[in-house]
């Protein structure tokens, strides 16, 4: 998950017993919690012409309100949330000094080296689009993007799509078909959408296409299953909410 | 794919028309091509006690020859191989200056920040084991490993397993079930094995367990499909072989 989701976690843990209802809540969290940092989803010098053009096209789509640009900021999640989360899932606790160095995976590289991307969300269509340029540090086969780097961005895009529509989640399954390798430093468009919801199971899918839409690089058409688990969070949310209100 | 696979690509492209027959060939490539660099799969100060203990256990298993430690070196693939590969797959060519900065994804971080791992291969059992410690820069949910980082290591381990047994490949499908989140900076064991071969299709699977083997973090039990494509490489291999022999 990326910086966006870090913000979502912060916001959700602090202000919601169950789950969010859209990005309006996320934006509100930025103002009330004073955790605004640099937005990494805005153009920078490493962005190629393709990525800039696509970004501008989607920003234009945002003008009528049908699409929304999703900011991606490195909000440092409070240490107590880390600890909560760690203990909450009955896992081995992580040392404090290790957690203090933690960075969201998709924002852990210097500008241009790794994951450069911007996301847009269409609430009516329950769709999220990620414009992604994989930098030179993400190499798999010589000259091409590592399959794991693409899987990372697919997971992140599906995650943002799910969290935008439904709230907190855990990815339960990721099923990716790799159709055509992606040249390093090129731009692809990852389009995801919510397919259906069955109880605590959410099914989302996506495809990855070249900028000219001629090449289908990859898809995750077998529904990707994610499970919402707010029911387990109720008590901890209440504690955290109380803690933050003091 | 990681540093190991970069070496394999170099070796295979230069010295084999079809595909390799095991790690003996890879090791030979190190001596004849003079591309030996630091082996990143050896213990370093960032390794936890768990990772060191597991590494020592597997190194002991190597003493009778049943298991082999697989080195992981950042061999810089010659630029012409990059270009070959780029054009070969009918993709948009990558700019030379961008390729010169390329780094294998799983070895692109400073020591301890990202992917710390060592791999071992059992030729008789067609199995590859990866001992993996995910550093603080691979964070997904607060305090936990990003699902994409785990997918990256699963893809890499399956890739090494396949290339060790069969030769060059492209991952065609990756189907991962996430069972339990992995705390950041903890160690897991990724065990992969070759299940079956059907023509150009290779089926490999794996599971990801905690060090004490009590927790199944993830698996890829639905066969993961990879396709060998040496038949398309014959002509280019010959050109490259000629080029290197001059």
Determine what percent of chain A falls in helix, strand and coil, rounding each to the nearest 5: 40, 30, 35
CA nearest to B169 within chain A: A141
Average pLDDT over residues B142-150: 93
Long-range CB contact pairs, B24-32, < 8 A, 24+: B27/B71, B30/B71, B30/B73
**Where residue A121 sits, what CATH number does that domain have?**
3.10.129.10
Which of B92, B142, B172 is the closest to A82 by Cβ? B142
Q: Are B11 and B231 in contact (CB under 8 A)?
A: no
Q: Is the dihedral of CA A58, A161, B136, B43 positive or negative?
A: negative
Question: CA A25 to CA A7: how far, in whole Å?
Answer: 11
Instruction: State the pLDDT at residue A227.
Output: 61
Per-residue pLDDT for A22 more than 60? no
Q: What is the enclosing helix (H) or strand (E) of A222?
A: strand A216-227
User: Residue A7 — very low, low, confident or very high, per pLDDT cuts 50/70/90?
Assistant: very low
Average pLDDT over residues A199-203: 84
Question: CA B179 to CA B215: how far, in whole Å?
Answer: 9
Per-residue pLDDT for B157 more than 70? yes
Contacts A146 to B, Cβ<8 Å: 1, 104-106, 152, 155
CA nearest to A146 within chain B: B1
Among the residue ranges A150-164, A199-213, A231-245, B72-86, the one predicted with the least confidence is: A231-245
Question: CA B58 to CA B66: how far, in whole Å?
Answer: 10
Q: Are B221 and B207 in contact (CB under 8 A)?
A: yes
Q: Are A160 and A3 in contact (CB under 8 A)?
A: no
Closest to A153 in 3D by CA, of A127, A122, A183, A114: A114
Average pLDDT over residues A194-211: 89
End-to-end CA gap in chain B: 29
How far A46 CA sits from the closest chain B CA (Å)?
11
Among the residue ranges A52-66, A77-91, B49-63, B164-178, the one predicted with the least confidence is: A77-91
Please indicate whether, in this complex, the C-beta atoms of B89 and A180 are within 8 angstroms of each other.
Answer: yes
User: Residue B222 — very low, low, confident or very high, per pLDDT cuts 50/70/90?
Assistant: low
CA nearest to A168 within chain B: B141
Q: Is the dihedral of CA A156, A59, A108, B114 positive or negative?
A: positive
Question: CA A67 to CA A181: how far, in whole Å?
Answer: 29
User: Residue A3 — very low, low, confident or very high, per pLDDT cuts 50/70/90?
Assistant: very low
Tens-digit pLDDT profile for residues B15-28: 332 333 333 443 34
Q: Total structural domains in chain A?
A: 1
Instruction: State the pLDDT at residue B225.
Output: 65
Among the residue ranges A143-147, A238-242, B84-88, the one predicted with the least confidence is: A238-242
Domain residue limits at A32: 2-245
User: Residue B113 — very low, low, confident or very high, per pLDDT cuts 50/70/90?
Assistant: very high
Size of interface A-B (CB pairs under 8 A): 221
Average pLDDT over residues A9-25: 36
Q: What does pTM read for this prediction?
A: 0.79
Instruction: State the pLDDT at residue B36.
Output: 54
Average pLDDT over residues B143-168: 90
Please indicate whether, in this complex, the C-beta atoms of B104 and A139 are within 8 angstroms of each other.
Answer: yes
Contacts A170 to B, Cβ<8 Å: 141, 178, 181
Q: In angstroms, what CA-CA distances link A102 with A107, A215, B183?
A: 11, 36, 12
How far A29 CA sits from the closest chain B CA (Å)?
17
For B77-113, letters b (16+ CB in 10 Å) and e give bbeebbbbbbeebebbebeeebbeebbbbbbbbeebb
User: Residue A170 — very low, low, confident or very high, per pLDDT cuts 50/70/90?
Assistant: confident
How far A63 CA sits from the closest chain B CA (Å)?
31
Selection from A81-90, A155-164, B143-152 with the highest mean pLDDT: B143-152
Question: CA B129 to CA B117: how far, in whole Å?
Answer: 10
Contacts A99 to B, Cβ<8 Å: 136, 143, 184
Q: Which residues face A48 on adjacent strands?
A: none
Closest to B13 in 3D by CA, of B88, B108, B70, B74: B88
SS3 call for B111: coil
Q: In angstroms, what CA-CA distances link A170 with A155, B91, B110, B190, B220?
A: 10, 35, 29, 21, 17
Annotated active-site residue A97? The verdict is: no
Q: Which of B155, B195, B212, B222 is catalytic?
A: B155
Contacts A50 to B, Cβ<8 Å: none
Closest to B202 in 3D by CA, of B142, B162, B152: B162
User: Would you list the DSSP string of A64-92?
Assistant: GTSSEEEP-B-PPPPHHHHHHHHHHTT-P
Q: Which residue has the higher pLDDT, A242 or A227?
A: A227
CA nearest to B107 within chain A: A137
SS3 call for B118: strand
Tens-digit pLDDT profile for residues A107-129: 999 999 999 999 999 999 999 99
Q: Which residue has the tokens 């909560």?
A: A84
Please indicate whether, in this complex, the C-beta atoms of B105 and A6 are within 8 angstroms of each other.
Answer: no
Question: CA B16 to CA B23: how far, in whole Å?
Answer: 14
φ and ψ of A190, to 5 deg: -100, 115
> Exposed, middle or buried, B54 (CB in 10 Å: 0-12/13-18/19+)?
buried
Per-residue pLDDT for A231 more than 80? no
For B128-146, letters b (16+ CB in 10 Å) and e give bbbbbbbbbbbbbbbbbbb
Instruction: State the pLDDT at residue B172.
Output: 87
How far B158 CA sits from the closest chain A CA (Å)?
12
Whole-number mean pLDDT of chain A?
Answer: 75
The answer to whether ipTM exceeds 0.90 is: no
Percentage of chain B modeled with pLDDT above 70: 65
Which of B1, B142, B152 is the closest to A152 by Cβ? B152
User: Residue A141 — very low, low, confident or very high, per pLDDT cuts 50/70/90?
Assistant: confident
Per-residue pLDDT for B147 more than 90? yes
Closest to A40 in 3D by CA, of A70, A11, A61, A8: A70
Tens-digit pLDDT profile for residues B158-216: 989 888 888 777 888 888 989 889 999 999 999 999 998 888 888 899 999 999 988 88
Instruction: State the pLDDT at residue B94.
Output: 62
CA nearest to B10 within chain A: A142
Long-range CB contact pairs, B20-27, < 8 A, 24+: B20/B163, B20/B167, B21/B167, B22/B123, B22/B164, B23/B68, B23/B70, B23/B121, B23/B123, B23/B164, B27/B71
Q: Which residue has the higher pLDDT, B229 or A159?
A: A159
């Amino acid at each position: 998950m990326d910086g966006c989701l870090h913000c979502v976690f912060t916001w959700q843990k602090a202000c919601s017993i169950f789950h969010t209802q859209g990005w309006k809540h996320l934006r509100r969290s930025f103002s009330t919690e004073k955790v605004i940092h640099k937005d990494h989803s805005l153009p920078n010098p490493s962005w190629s012409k393709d990525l800039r053009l696509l970004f501008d096209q989607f920003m234009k789509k945002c003008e009528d309100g049908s699409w929304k640009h999703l900011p991606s900021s490195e909000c440092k999640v409070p240490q107590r949330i880390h600890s909560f989360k760690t203990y909450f899932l009955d896992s081995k606790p992580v040392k404090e000094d290790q957690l203090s160095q933690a960075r969201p995976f998709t924002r852990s590289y210097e500008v241009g080296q790794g994951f450069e991307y911007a996301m847009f969300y269409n609430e009516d269509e329950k769709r999220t689009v990620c414009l992604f340029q994989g930098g030179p540090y993400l190499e798999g086969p010589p000259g091409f993007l590592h399959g794991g780097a693409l899987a990372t961005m697919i997971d992140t895009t599906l995650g943002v799509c799910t969290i935008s529509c439904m709230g907190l989640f855990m990815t339960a399954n990721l099923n990716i078909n790799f159709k055509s390798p992606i040249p390093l430093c090129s731009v692809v468009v990852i389009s995801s959408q919510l397919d259906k919801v069955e109880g605590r199971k959410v099914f989302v899918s996506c495809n990855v296409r070249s900028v000219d839409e001629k090449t289908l690089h990859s898809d995750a058409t077998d529904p990707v299953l994610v499970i919402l688990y707010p029911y387990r969070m109720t008590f901890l949310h209440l504690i955290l909410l109380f803690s933050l209100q003091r």
